[in-house]
């Protein structure tokens, strides 16, 4: 059976199909990148403005990040920001558990073993196996940070764990590609937050009091 150009085994189908669409996409992308012409970009900020931005970035006493909603920049005291993050980590042990040492390399090893088993057992094809295992960067420890909710009466940070370049980044993307077509066939599903917000603003709902 094939979902989103990825072959996997079910109780009824045991054969594996090549991902032709993925191979064509990779070749077309290589040609497009090879023929791309890169031109130097002109800075649209004055020299004084650029120097001010650099000075703000280098100032370790302040934390400069975007707000949780919109594109507003939020400047907070670094020590205050760190204390808030540590408080969230220590108060919510249901979701955060202290570790004696990093487990990123052990997780990367387990993910690789799982991908190899999927290929040996015929659940994924060769192209998918290569994409999941070849060209991976050295996995980094996921980073915890917060984005301040300035629209609240009492500003508080929304916790985020960045898994970019993490040991499960590609396999998570692969699983997501299989689940998205299934989710889109449901009677209702949330595609993206901006689209959902637009639908809620434009739709008229009948209430029990109308």
| Rounded alpha-carbon distances, angstroms, from residue 168 to 11, 39, 104, 153 | 27, 35, 9, 37
- In the three-class reduction of DSSP (H, G, I as helix; E, B as strand; rest coil), residue 95 is classed as coil
pLDDT digits (tens, 9 = 90+) for 153-210: 888 888 988 888 888 888 888 888 888 888 888 877 666 666 666 666 666 666 555 4
* Degrees, nearest 5: CA angle 145-180-116: 80
| Beta-bridge partner residues of 145 | 160
Does the model's pTM come out above 0.85? no
Contacts by 74-82 with C-beta closer than 8 Å and gap 24+? 74/147, 74/148, 74/150, 76/148, 81/146, 81/157
pLDDT digits (tens, 9 = 90+) for 88-130: 888 877 888 888 888 999 999 999 999 999 999 999 988 889 8
Where in the chain are the domains? 62-185
């Amino acid at each position: 059976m094939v979902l989103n150009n990825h072959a996997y085994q079910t109780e009824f189908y045991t054969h594996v199909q090549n991902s032709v669409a993925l191979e064509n996409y990779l070749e077309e992308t290589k040609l497009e990148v090879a023929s791309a012409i890169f031109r130097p970009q002109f800075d649209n900020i004055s020299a004084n403005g650029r120097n001010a931005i650099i000075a703000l970035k280098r100032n370790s006493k302040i934390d400069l990040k975007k707000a949780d909603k919109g594109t507003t920049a939020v400047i907070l005291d670094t020590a205050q920001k760190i204390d808030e993050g540590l408080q969230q980590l220590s108060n919510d042990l249901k979701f955060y558990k202290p570790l004696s040492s990093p487990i990123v390399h052990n997780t990367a090893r387990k993910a690789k073993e799982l991908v190899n088993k999927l290929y040996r057992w015929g659940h994924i094809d060769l192209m998918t196996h290569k994409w999941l295992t070849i060209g991976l960067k050295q996995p980094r420890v996921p980073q915890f940070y917060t984005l301040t909710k300035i629209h609240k009466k009492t500003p508080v940070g929304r916790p985020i764990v960045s898994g970019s370049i993490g040991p499960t980044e590609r396999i998570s993307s692969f699983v997501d590609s299989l689940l998205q077509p299934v989710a889109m066939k449901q009677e209702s599903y949330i595609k993206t937050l901006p689209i959902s917000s637009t639908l809620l603003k434009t739709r008229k709902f009948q209430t029990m009091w109308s």
